[in-house]
Structure 1
Amino acid sequence: MPPLNALKGFEAAARLRSFRKAADELNLTHVAISHQVRQLEDDLGCALFLREGRSVALTEEGRVFYDYARQALETLVTGAGIIRRHGPEADLRIETYVTVAIRWLSPRLSRFHAAHPEINFSLNTRRTEWWFDEANTDIAIMYVDRDLPGSLRARRLFEGTLYPVCSPSILAALSPVVTPSDLLGLPLIEVSSAPNDWRDWFRAAGIENAPALRYTKVDTYALALEMAIAGAGVAMLNGPFAEEELRRRELVLPVDLVARSRGDWAVLYRADRERDRKIRAFADWLVADVEAERARSAVVNSGR
C-alpha cells in the first residue's frame, strides 16, 4: 500500500496543479507536500510530476495513478461518512410527510423519547420527493401503494382509508340527508400528490363516472384540512389525521362512508440495516404504540 498521507498530498497537488496550493488546502508547508510526493514516487518507482518552475504537470504515469488515487480517497471519505452517520452517537434520521409530522407523529415523539432517552433523533419532512431517501434517511413513515424494492423493508402501521371532511357550516347548508352525489356540486379540495383519492371514494360510493369536478388543488393533506376547517370546501383525507378536529366538531363527516384506499401507511427502513439498534427500537415502539392506541379506541367505542 502506498502511504496514505502521501496519497492525500499527491491528489491535492495533481488536482490543483500546484504544490503550494495543495499545501494551503491541507494546512501543510510546501516542503511537506514535496516530501510526500517524493516519498510516493520512490514507493512507485517512477516520476509522477514534471516540475516546471512554480507549476507542476502530471507525467503519463501520474495521470494514470491520479484516477485511482482520487477514487480510493473518495471511497474512504464515503465510508467514513456512513460510519459517522450510523455510529452509536449519530442521530436517528426520521423522514415523513409534512401532514404526518405535524398531525400524527410529533405528539408521539415525546413518548418515544421517554421510552428511549438514549436515542437522539432528527425529523425531516419531504415536500417535493414523495419516496424513501435511502441515502439520507434511516427510517421513514410513508404511504405505500406500490411493490417495494428488495432494498427496503416495511412494517404496516394502519390501512389507508378515504373519507371526506368539511366544516359544520357547509354541512348545515345541505339537505338533512346527504348522499355522496350531493358532494358533486360542492367545491372539493384535492391533494396534488394523491389525485385518485376523490375518484376512488366516489367509485366506492357507487358513482363510477363522476362528472367534471370542481377542485382546489393543494400540495399537502395538512393544507387541505386547514381549508376545510375554514369552510373553503370539502377535503378528502387518507389516514387518521383529523381525529381532534372531528372530536371538537371543527370538522364533520358530510357522508358516513369510509373507503379503502390503494395502499397502507407503514414504517420503512433499509433491509441491510434491519438489525440496527436505533432503527429496530423506533420501529418496534411505533408499531406497539399504534396497537395500544387501537386497543384503547376499541374499548371506548365498545362502551358507547
Structure 2
Amino acid sequence: MRIRSPSLSELHAFATAARLGSFSQAADELHVTQGAISRAIARLEEHLALALFTREGRRSVLTATGQSYLDAIAPAIAAIEAATVALQTRRTERTLRLSVPPTLFSHWLIPRLPDFHAQHPDTTLSFAPYRRDDPLQAPEIDAWLRVGTREWPRHIQADYVVGRELVPICRPADLQGPHAIRTAQDLLARPLLFHTNYPDNWAAWFQGVGCAHPPLAPAADFELVALLVQAVIAGLGVAVVQHCLVEKDLAAGRIAIAVPQPVVIDRGYYLCQPAGRAASAALQDFRQWLLAQAHLGAG
C-alpha cells in the first residue's frame, strides 16, 4: 500500500510554525535552523499540492486550507507525543538504580541475576559505585545492599537478606588422614586466617559452638573474602566466613566446611532505602525477588 502521509518531521515543523506564527520561533523551539523549517514546510506544501501559509509582515499566517489541515492532524500529533512520553516514563519507572558491596555482588548476587531478568524482563538494573561511607540518602539511588545489624537509624528502612551465617572453611584434604579436622577444638591447632575488617569472626564462631579458647591471634589477615578463600586453598590455614559468600567455591569442591556447625551472628546484608520514600514498582519486584532468593538459599 502506498503511504500518502508526509513525514513526522514535516508535520512537527508545520504544526509548530502554525502555533507560533513564525518560522524562526518554530526553529528555536525545535532546535533546528530556520532554513530547516522552511524546507520542511515547502516539502509538505509540495506533497499536498496546497499552500498552507501566507506572509503578513513578519508573521506566517495559516491559509484556510492550512487551518483545516492543522485541525485534522493536531490530535494525531498530540496522541503520538503522549504515547511516546508515556512509554519513556514507564521505561524510566522500570529502571532500578542499586548500590551493592563488591563482595556480595560478585559472590552472591550476580549468579542469581539471570533469574531476576527472566522474571522481570522489562526492568533494567543499574548499579552505582559502592561507597563504604554512603549515608543512603542519594535521590538518584533507589536502594542499597549494606552490611549491618538489626539496629538501623530510624530514617532507614532495612530488610535482612543474607549473610548472618558463619562457617569455618578448610581444604578438602584437611578432612582426611590421621590429623583430619573433626571438631572445633581441632581448628585451634591450625593457623587461623582472619578477615581484616571483621577480626572478631573467629571468636564469635568459637563462642557460638561452645568451644573455649585462649586469646586468638591471626596467622595472617586478608581484607577480601576472595583472598581468604585463596589462602585456604593454598594451605595457609583455616578461615571463618559468611556461608553465602563461598557457595560457589563449596559447590566446586575447592574448599570444604571444616566443622558442620554454622553460627548465626547479628551482622548481615540488608536491603536499605530511606524510610518514607515510596518504593517504585520495580523496587517492590526486586525486593520480593531478593527475599525469595535468600529464602531459597537458606533452604
**How would you bin the TM-score normalised by the shorter chain?**
0.5 to 0.7
Indicate how the Cα distance of structure 1 residues 290 and 278 shifts in structure 2: closer, same or farther if over 3 A, else same.
same
Corresponding residue number in structure 2 for 1:254: 258
Corresponding residue number in structure 2 for 1:82: none
Larger radius of gyration: 2
For 1:1-304, list aligned pairs within 5 A: 88=92, 91-124=95-128, 126=130, 129=132, 133-135=136-138, 137-158=141-162, 160-172=164-176, 175-176=179-180, 178-294=182-298, 297=299
Q: In the alignment, residue 133 of structure 1 is paired with which amino acid?
A: L
**Runs of 4 or more off by more than 6 Å in structure 1?**
none
Q: Do 2:192 and 2:219's aligned partners in 1 also have CA atoms closer than 8 Å?
A: yes
Shift of 1:160: 0.7
Indicate how the Cα distance of structure 1 residues 177 and 241 shifts in structure 2: closer, same or farther if over 3 A, else same.
closer
TM-score (ref. length: structure 2): 0.61
Indicate how the Cα distance of structure 1 residues 291 and 209 shifts in structure 2: closer, same or farther if over 3 A, else same.
closer
Q: How far apart, in 1, do the equivalents of 2:221 and 2:273 lie?
A: 31
Corresponding residue number in structure 1 for 2:78: none
How many percent identity over aligned positions?
26
Q: Do 1:132 and 1:140's aligned partners in 2 also have CA atoms closer than 8 Å?
A: no
SS at match of 2:92: coil
Shift of 1:183: 1.6
Q: 1:115-143 deviations in whole A, cap 9, x for unaligned?
A: 222222223463x6166632263212233
Shift of 1:271: 1.6
Q: Do 1:169 and 1:231's aligned partners in 2 also have CA atoms closer than 8 Å?
A: no
Q: How far apart, in 1, do the equivalents of 2:238 and 2:158 lie?
A: 32
Q: Do 1:98 and 1:125's aligned partners in 2 also have CA atoms closer than 8 Å?
A: no
Specify every segment of 5 or more residues in structure 1 that has no aligned partner in the other structure, as ranges: 1-86, 298-304
Indicate how the Cα distance of structure 1 residues 246 and 239 shifts in structure 2: closer, same or farther if over 3 A, else same.
closer
Indicate how the Cα distance of structure 1 residues 228 and 89 shifts in structure 2: closer, same or farther if over 3 A, else same.
same
Q: 1:165-203 deviations in whole A, cap 9, x for unaligned?
A: 011233446624622122223222211221211111111
Q: 1:75-127 deviations in whole A, cap 9, x for unaligned?
A: xxxxxxxxxxxx9268422222222111110011122122222222223463x
Q: In the alignment, residue 119 of structure 2 is paired with which amino acid?
A: A
Q: 1:194-233 deviations in whole A, cap 9, x for unaligned?
A: 1211111111232344234233111122221222223222
TM-score (ref. length: structure 1): 0.60
Shift of 1:270: 1.6
Q: How far apart, in 2, do the equivalents of 1:278 and 1:122 lie?
A: 12
Q: 1:48-83 deviations in whole A, cap 9, x for unaligned?
A: xxxxxxxxxxxxxxxxxxxxxxxxxxxxxxxxxxxx
Indicate how the Cα distance of structure 1 residues 167 and 141 shifts in structure 2: closer, same or farther if over 3 A, else same.
same
Q: Do 2:93 and 2:281's aligned partners in 1 also have CA atoms closer than 8 Å?
A: no
Q: How far apart, in 1, do the equivalents of 2:233 and 2:161 lie?
A: 27
Q: How far apart, in 1, do the equivalents of 2:267 and 2:168 lie?
A: 17
**How many residue pairs end up in the alignment?**
209
Q: How far apart, in 2, do the equivalents of 1:201 and 1:217 lie?
A: 17
Indicate how the Cα distance of structure 1 residues 226 and 98 shifts in structure 2: closer, same or farther if over 3 A, else same.
farther
Q: How far apart, in 2, do the equivalents of 1:200 and 1:156 lie?
A: 20
